[in-house]
Amino acid sequence: MKIGLIINIKRPDAFRVAKGVINWLTQDGDYHLVMESGTATTMGYEKLGADSIEMQGVDLILAMGGDGTLLHAVRVIEGKGIPILGINLGSLGFLTEVTEKELHSTLINILHGHYKIEKRMMISIKVIRQDSVPVRFKALNEAVITNSEIARMINLKVSIDSKYLTTYRADGLIISTPTGSTAYSLAAGGPIVVPQMKVLMLTPICPHTLTTRPMIIPESSKITVDVVSTDQSILTIDGQQAYSLELADRVEIERAEEETCLIKPQQRGFYEVLRNKLKWGGSIVE
């Protein structure tokens, strides 16, 4: 089995935890490990360094860090459908559920084939500028359009399936998947959506009109956003990539053909994760 390691070396415990995993998996020689070249050099494992093409040829990805690390892993594999296990070395983590204490037993189960795959829908984003398409993206969580200036509103004309919806006057607009409902969208007042649902969400950020509310629409919808602000704006993908937008640019968002495959611990469901991560309290009334 070929295993790819994607490690956030900025995390305080990342070196220690990652080295423990590497030493354990290389003891009997049954597993071939690779990691991103820069990380391999920093950690002193130059021989394990791999380019993006080799990283896309592994059987399994271990993403060690936080949710941002897992989102980076999704971008590295570029929709190849490689199973990803998220290992949480931070504090929250909706995507990286496995803790350091659970890591050893979870890996044993995975290496013996005792795990399940949860497929998560992604979105496809393209920018249209003067009848050309300068850039395309894929996202697991969301696409966000904001003003490039701090604390400045933006005007965004939105249509769904070619039918005009509204022109948002807000700090920005989030178009998210169900997986992304517990990310930026949640912080902006959007709804929590069970990841297996097949929908898309529009969540305005600090809208100027108080009657403007988040919307949930069918997964088959195509969302068109026209930039009508004269100020420069920014398109951000999963908090990982950014692209500068210009006046009259059009951004089209729809469900992607690709899906992200997450390895899910069998003992834990979404509602338990939600309860624990958001620290919902209260006792059970019988």
Q: How deeply is 26 buried, as exposed, middle or buried, from its count of CB atoms within 10 A (0-12, 13-18, 19+)?
A: middle
CB of 277 closer than 8 Å to CB of 94: yes
Question: Which one from 67, 171, 238, 249 is the annotated catalytic residue?
Answer: 67
Q: Is 67 a catalytic residue?
A: yes
CA distance 286 to 284: 6
Range 164-170 contact pairs with CB under 8 angstroms and sequence separation of 24 or more:
166/212, 167/228, 168/204, 168/207, 168/212, 169/207, 169/208, 169/209, 170/204, 170/205, 170/206, 170/207, 170/208, 170/212
CA distance 68 to 96: 9
CA distance 203 to 145: 11
According to DSSP, the β-strands at 241-245 and 233-237 are antiparallel
| Active-site amino acid positions | 67
